[in-house]
Each structure stands twice: as C-alpha cells, then as structure tokens.
Chains A and B, each alone.
Chain A
Amino acid sequence: MQKGNRFDNISVRFIFREEEPVLNLDPSVKRETGYIAAWTGILSLVMEAVFLLLRQWDVSVLLGNLGGAAAAVGNFFAMARTVSQAVEQGDPKSAATRVRASAAIRMLTIAGICALLIGLAKTNPFATLIPLLFPRVGIMFWPLAERKRKAETAGTEGSELD
C-alpha cells in the first residue's frame, strides 16, 4: 500500500483545474495596468535620477521607491479588476457596493504598506509616497495613447477590409 500525502489529490486537482482559469482578466484591465506600470517605471527612474542629482540617494530611497511603485501599480490593478468584475456582474446596486468596499480596503492596505515601509523598514518617506501619484501622471497622457491606439486599430481594420 502506498503511503502518500492525503492532500496530494486535492492539490493536483486545484492546480490543474482547466475549465476555470485562476486569473481570468479582462483585456482592458491588462492593457491599462500595463500602461500605468510603464509610466510608473519611467517616473520612478526619473525620481531616482533626481535624488542622485540632489546627492540625497541611498538604499532607503531605492527601497521606498520600489515599495511605493509596487503599491501604486497593485492598487491600480486591484481597482481595475474590481471595476471590470463589477461591470461584468451587471447589477448597478451590487456593483456600486462592491466598488465602495474595494476602495475602502485598498486605501487601508496602502496606508498599512506605507506605514510598514516608513515606520518599520525606515525607507525615505518622500521616495515611498511620491510613486503613489505616478499613475495620475500616466492618466494625464492616456487620451493621447488611446487616440493613437484607436487610429492604429482603425488602420488595421481598414487594411483587413481592403
């Protein structure tokens, strides 16, 4: 008789569950999160360069920047996923409740992450907090990117029709 772990079958079934993907993401969520992550990365590099130029750079700045940028992109991704799932649900009332609850939880999570980074890990407070605003800068330029994408899509569809 084989003596195996009694959870073996359960874990195998959990990992290889084919009919239902673990992370079923809306294409617009992937696209917009990628766009925001790219802007956050670029602006993080710019911020690091500014700290270097001001001769204020140290490891705490880098760690704070990484933590803040990860929190900003993670917050955007969570928000986008919640919004797309709420829209998918279709019922306006429950969608609104879901998004409100998500907003409160995300805000508390970011506050907790920042408090841990600044209070316990002693990262630079400014380097930790400034990346939280980077997605807003990316959104400022979003209409331009969207217009370009639409023009490209229209061009592709036009060439397919030809």
Chain B
Amino acid sequence: MVELALGIMLGLLGLGAGIGMIAGIGPGIGEGQAVAKACEAIGRQPESKSEVTSTLIMGCAIAETTGLYALIVAILLIFVAPNMFAGIIMNAVK
C-alpha cells in the first residue's frame, strides 16, 4: 500500500513538473515577436540601433524570467518534493 502511494505521488509530481514546463513555451514566442518588431524599428530608424538593442536584451531577459520560474518549480518538484512527500507518507503510515 505504501509502495502504491509512493508510486502515485512520484507520478503526479512528474506530471506536475511536465505541465508546469508548458509555461516555458511562452517566453520563446514573446522574445521572437519582440525581436521581429525591433528589426522593423531598426529598419525604420537605423541610428537608434544601440538603444533598441540594449532595451531589447533587457526586455527579453524579463520575458525569460517566467520560463525560469516554471523551470525552477519543475526542478523542485522532481528533486526536492519527493523526499518531502515521502517523509509525510511514511509518518502517516506510522
């Protein structure tokens, strides 16, 4: 019974990590759109290239943070949560 509970727990944690990583798709799409618009802007005003590139880099880094949050949660679910939940299950059985 304990083995079954542990198996279900590990499966659900893996599933949660996988679902969480869906958030990693968004930043890529957002960054791509931002860069495409920046290319158009630089095409219109080539003299503003340096300023646009700097702002774009920082904007992309901000966009990327959401993906990193998802990644951190997924890694915590895979590496940290199993020990924690296993402890809770074992205590409940005792």
Min C-beta distance of A27 to chain B, whole Å = 7
Q: Mark B30-54, 1 if CB is under 8 A from A, else 0.
A: 0111011111101100000110111
Tally of A interface residues using CB under 8 Å: 44
Q: Output the nearest chain A residue to B53 by Cβ-Cβ distance.
A: A28
Among B27, B28, B61, B75, contact of A118 (Cβ-Cβ < 8 Å): B75
Residues of chain B lying within 8 A (CB to CB) of residue A32: 54, 57-58
**Within 8 Å of chain A (Cβ to Cβ): is B6?**
no
Q: Which residues of A contact B57 (CB under 8 A)?
A: 28-29, 32, 79-80, 83-84
B72 touches A107 (CB 8 A): no
Is B50 a contact partner of A129 (Cβ separation < 8 A)? no
Structural contact, B32 and A97, CB atoms closer than 8 A: yes
8 A-B pairs in the complex with CB atoms less than 8 angstroms apart = A80-B60, A83-B53, A87-B39, A87-B42, A87-B49, A100-B32, A115-B79, A132-B71
B residues neighboring A (CB under 8 Å): 24, 27-29, 31-33, 35-40, 42-43, 49-50, 52-54, 56-58, 60-62, 64-65, 67-69, 71-72, 74-76, 78-80
Chain A positions within 8 Å of B, measured between CB atoms, are 26-29, 31-32, 36, 75-76, 79-80, 83-84, 86-87, 89-93, 95-100, 103-104, 107, 110-111, 114-115, 118-119, 125, 129, 132-133, 135-136, 139, 142, 146
Excluding A79-B61, A100-B32, A110-B68, 15 further A-B contacts by CB distance (< 8 Å) are A28-B54, A31-B54, A32-B58, A80-B57, A80-B60, A80-B61, A84-B57, A86-B39, A87-B35, A87-B39, A87-B53, A100-B29, A115-B78, A132-B72, A146-B54
